[in-house]
Amino acid sequence: MAIPVTALFGAIHGVLNVALAIGVTRARAQSNIFLGTGDNESLLLASRRHGNNTEYVPLALLLLLVAELAGGGATALYALGTALTVGRVLHAIGVGSKPSPLRAIGAVLTWVAIVGAGIYGLLASMH
């Protein structure tokens, strides 16, 4: 069975995750801190950008996959995947600025994608 929506967003988020990981690696090299974050704010922010992304994206992609396999429509699935992607990018940009509307919008879009994909998958599985 083809899963073009999940494949697309999985690929996008794989690249995003590696980009965020590179940010951590650069911050580690610049700070000469190779375990933990010490008291280096730049390293802490890079680490949290990557960590937060890593905490949320797998669940979102899994629920998107479930919804797609359950027969969810492409338009809704692309909308959920787009919300996730925009949310993760905005959140990463917003980490570190206080207060951060981008971070808040990014978090909300991520939650909408997760809850939306979960509900959509449940409803699609009932048909």
Cα–Cα distance between 73 and 9 in angstroms, integer?
15
Peptide bond just before 4 cis, omega within 30 deg: no
97 — pLDDT class (breaks 50, 70, 90): confident
Q: CATH 3.30.200.20: does it fit domain 4-125?
A: no
Cα–Cα distance between 34 and 2 in angstroms, integer?
41
Contact (CB, 8 A) for 12 and 87: no
Cα–Cα distance between 46 and 95 in angstroms, integer?
9
Contact (CB, 8 A) for 97 and 24: no
Mean pLDDT estimate for the chain = 95
- Residue 7 pLDDT greater than 80, yes or no: yes
Taking only the tens place, the pLDDT of each residue in 44-95 is: 999 999 999 999 999 999 999 999 999 999 999 999 999 999 999 999 999 9
